């Protein structure tokens, strides 16, 4: 470790003049770590444990009991919700796989000019909150949407794309398939060419080669992506709410808490189930992947051999890719049409086009936009500060228990937004904020904190990666030239991490800006609402849909800009680094 003897000059600090038992010696960095640990316990661990505890308590006596779970499974509505959530998540994984597999296969196995199209357009779904697209999807795929109107007129049939659970599955798989695409493509690209050639050399080829060698080697990536899709769908609140599908777990938890009240145990039981499933699928994917680091690219190896396509194959490939992209981009197209449309009802396309929705949106939602900038800005700033500190403590110091900072921060991945929201409401309903005269649970700052906790795992990964790229020798050089720990961090480490930190900030900001599930629980009045909640409110009424769509377009633009910006930062940083090395 880097902790060398610290040169001490001048008079002894206060701590050293007091008896040691009164003030255990903690280095300043350890104090920072302790402070972060307190924040994580206070705003993540404790609230979640509180939720779990309530789920196992008798609501009136407070005694430890399992009867809440008994009540849950005795209710046919909850059993139905449980089944539906599971069913929707599983089928979303299947449908997302059907979308992602051909795209990943075509890009990694063939010299296909459309690959760039896939790589850029394939990720667009992620930059739109799924619930935003849901309404647009209704207008395109719904019972009286574009597709079914055309089908009815020409073929006399309709397909229930959006009926009930189907709608949730369609919206979710279209939104989340990039997780599978990204992970699967990365896995496929990481397979060394010699793996494939060795099999060919021993007599395998074609589909058999794919089934026996290529796909098994890509499974870790596939499983990682699939597990992520499963959890995201299982935990999602916004999409089912907007599609008015309430018999699923997350909406039930929300509805119980908001309608029956904070003391109704069912919301907590559902929370426990959501958390358990999140942990279970993360754990399962960990088990499957354990000891399977199949990233096999060797020096001089390079990924799988790419084959040129014959003209006929090329046409087929373009057909498949364009068809998939058209479906995948339909929420965006729909949203755009909706935002510029006058009236769009019982018609394949809007009746006319106007800018009125944008005017209305702008008049009605400046507060939302300002709130969003404020909340997401605070959350992202805190995320990168805490992320950098944790990364430094974990990677560069020997402080006891440092790994737990990482574990705690990462644990937020397994906590659905609904659960965090319920936990905050329960924990902070009676904690009054001095001078504001409100409980913490209904003060706007709690929304920013929730967003901060929710985005922390991602920001932390970005900071860790950035710090890992900074060679230890650079720090040691600064220290040997006389810079103390904090000055070294400030003058050497942070500037060198800047690119990664900035990228982490931008992604945290962009994704926090459109987060709905935690905020929807914590918004106590319309004045404090962020953008995502604003869209949700607009979308509640048919007359507000146009303006809601306009606001949705704005949200997409914000996230898109953020994504592009962070990509530019990362690329520039990478160039700077390689230039510095050469």
Partner 1 sequence: MKTEMAGIEIRDLHLSFGDTKVLTGINLTIRPGEFFAFLGPSGSGKSTLLRAIAGFGPQPRGEILIGGRDIATLPPWKRDVGMVFQSYALWPHMSVRENVAFGLEERRVPRPEIRKRVDEALALVGLSHLADRMPNQLSGGQQQRIALARTVVIEPKVLLLDEPLSNLDASLRVQMRRELLALQRKLGLTTIFVTHDQEEANTTSDRMAVLDGGVIQQIGSPQELYDRPVNLFVARFLGTANILEGRVETEGGAARFRTATGDVLSLPVEGRTGPSSIVLRPQNIRIEEQAGTGTLPGEVLHREFLGSQVRYLVRAAGTEIVVDQSHRAGEIWLDPGARVYLAANTRDAVLIPQGA
Nearer to partner 1, 199 or 373 (CB): 199
If one asks whether residue 291 binds partner 1 (CB under 8 A), the answer comes out as yes
Q: What is the b/e burial string over 382-399, where b = at least 16 CB atoms within 10 angstroms of the residue's CB? A: bbbbbbbbbbbbbbbbeb
Give the burial string for 87-119 (b: 16+ CB within 10 Å, else e).
Answer: ebbbbbbebbbebbbbbbbbbbbbebebbebbe
Return the number of the residue (192 or 383) whose C-beta is nearest partner 1.
Answer: 192
Q: Using CB under 8 A as the criterion, what x/- string covers residues 135-174 for binding partner 1?
A: ----------------------------------------
336 lines the binding site for partner 1 (CB under 8 A): no
Of the candidate spans 141-149, 233-241, 296-304, 423-431, the one that interacts with partner 1 by CB under 8 A turns out to be 296-304
Angular region, 203: left φ>0, alpha ψ -120 to 50, beta rest: left
Nearer to partner 1, 222 or 424 (CB): 222
**300 lies in the site for partner 1, by CB under 8 A:** yes
Lookup: tokens for 258 = 């908001």
Q: 96: closest CA among 237, 233, 253?
A: 233
68 vs 190, beta carbon nearer partner 1: 190
- Closer residue to partner 1 (CB): 196 or 528: 196
Token couple for 514: 């459109």
Contact between 60 and partner 1 by CB under 8 A: the answer reads: no
The residue among 197 and 571 lying less far from partner 1, judged by its C-beta, is 197
- 499 — phi, psi (to 5°)? -60, -50
Position 293 contacts partner 1 (CB under 8 A):
yes
Among 292, 487, 491, 574, binds partner 1 (CB under 8 A): 292
Stretch that binds partner 1, among 149-157, 292-300, 310-318, 440-448 (CB under 8 A): 292-300
The residue to which tokens 């633009």 are assigned: 557
Shortest Å, Cβ 464 to partner 1: 24
Q: Fill in the DSSP letter of residue 571.
A: H
- How many angstroms separate the CA atoms of 148 and 152, rounded? 6
Q: What is each CA distance from 4 to 34, 336, 387, 390, 479, in whole angstroms? A: 21, 59, 24, 20, 9
Write each residue from 174 to 213 as x if it is in contact with partner 1 (CB under 8 A), else as -, in one continuous string. Answer: ------------------x-xx-xxxxxxxxx--x---xx
Say how many residues touch partner 1, by CB under 8 A: 27
Q: Hey, how many other C-beta atoms are within 10 angstroms of the C-beta on 292? A: 12
Burial class (CB in 10 A: 0-12, 13-18, 19+), 206: exposed
Cβ–Cβ under 8 Å, residues 251 and 240 = yes
**Closer to partner 1 by Cβ: residue 297 or 336:** 297
Q: Are the C-beta atoms of 140 and 342 separated by less than 8 Å? A: no
Based on CB atoms, which residue is closest to partner 1, 261 or 300? 300
Closest approach, Cβ 188 to partner 1, in A, equals: 14
What is the contact mask toward partner 1 in residues 210 to 239, using x (rule: CB under 8 A)? --xx--xx-x--------------------
What minimum distance in Å lies between the beta carbon of 576 and partner 1?
29
- Residues within the interface to partner 1 (CB under 8 A): 192, 194-195, 197-205, 208, 212-213, 216-217, 219, 291-294, 296, 298, 300-301, 305
């Amino acid at each position: 470790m880097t902790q060398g003897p610290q040169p001490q000059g001048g008079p002894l600090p206060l701590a050293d003049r007091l008896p040691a038992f009164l003030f255990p010696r903690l280095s300043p960095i350890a104090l920072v770590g302790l402070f972060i640990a307190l924040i994580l316990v206070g705003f993540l661990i404790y609230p979640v444990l509180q939720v779990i505890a309530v789920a196992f308590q008798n609501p009136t006596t407070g005694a430890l009991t399992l009867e809440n779970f008994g009540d849950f499974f005795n209710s046919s509505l909850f059993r139905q919700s449980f089944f539906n959530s599971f069913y929707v998540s599983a089928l979303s994984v299947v449908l997302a796989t059907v979308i992602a597999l051909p795209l990943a296969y075509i890009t990694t196995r063939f010299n296909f000019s459309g690959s760039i199209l896939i790589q850029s357009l394939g990720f667009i779904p992620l930059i739109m909150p799924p619930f935003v697209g849901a309404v647009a999807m209704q207008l395109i795929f719904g019972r009286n949407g574009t597709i079914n109107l055309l089908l009815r007129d020409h073929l006399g049939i309709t397909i229930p794309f959006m009926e009930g659970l189907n709608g949730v599955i369609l919206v979710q798989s279209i939104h989340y398939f990039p997780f599978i695409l990204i992970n699967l493509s990365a896995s496929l690209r990481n397979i060394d060419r010699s793996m494939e050639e060795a099999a060919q050399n021993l007599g395998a080829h074609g589909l058999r080669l794919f089934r026996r060698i290529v796909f098994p080697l890509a499974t870790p990536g596939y499983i990682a992506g699939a597990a992520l899709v499963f959890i995201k769908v299982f935990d999602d609140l916004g999409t089912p709410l907007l599609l008015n599908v309430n018999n699923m777990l997350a909406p039930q938890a929300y509805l119980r808490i908001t309608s029956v009240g904070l003391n109704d145990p069912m919301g907590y039981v559902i929370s426990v189930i959501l958390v358990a499933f999140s942990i279970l699928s993360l754990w399962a994917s960990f088990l499957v992947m354990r000891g399977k680091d199949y990233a096999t690219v060797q020096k001089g190896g390079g990924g799988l051999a790419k084959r040129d396509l014959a003209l006929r194959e090329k046409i087929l490939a373009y057909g498949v890719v364009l068809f998939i992209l058209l479906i995948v981009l339909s929420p965006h197209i729909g949203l755009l049409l909706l935002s510029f449309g006058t009236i769009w009802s019982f018609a394949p396309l809007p009746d006319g086009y106007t800018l009125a929705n944008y005017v209305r949106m702008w008049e009605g939602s400046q507060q939302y936009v300002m709130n969003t900038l404020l909340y997401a800005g605070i959350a992202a700033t805190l995320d990168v500060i805490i992320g950098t500190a944790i990364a430094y403590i974990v990677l560069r110091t020997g402080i006891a228990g440092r790994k737990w900072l990482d574990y705690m921060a990462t644990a937020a991945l397994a906590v659905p937004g609904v659960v965090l929201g319920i936990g905050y409401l329960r924990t902070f309903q009676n904690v009054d904020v001095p001078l504001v005269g409100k409980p913490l649970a209904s003060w706007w700052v709690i929304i920013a904190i929730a967003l901060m906790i929710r985005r922390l795992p991602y920001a932390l990964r970005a900071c860790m990666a950035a710090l890992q790229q900074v060679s230890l020798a650079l720090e040691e050089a600064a220290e040997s030239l006389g810079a103390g720990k904090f000055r070294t961090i400030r003058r050497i480490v942070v500037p060198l991490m800047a690119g990664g930190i900035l990228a982490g900030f931008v992604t945290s900001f962009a994704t926090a800006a459109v987060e709905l599930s935690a905020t929807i629980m914590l918004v106590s009045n319309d004045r404090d609402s962020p953008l995502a909640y604003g869209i949700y409110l607009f979308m509640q009424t048919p007359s507000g849909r146009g303006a809601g769509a306009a606001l949705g377009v704005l949200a997409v633009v914000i996230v898109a800009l953020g994504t592009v910006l962070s990509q530019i930062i990362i690329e520039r940083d990478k160039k700077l680094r390689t230039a510095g090395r050469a």
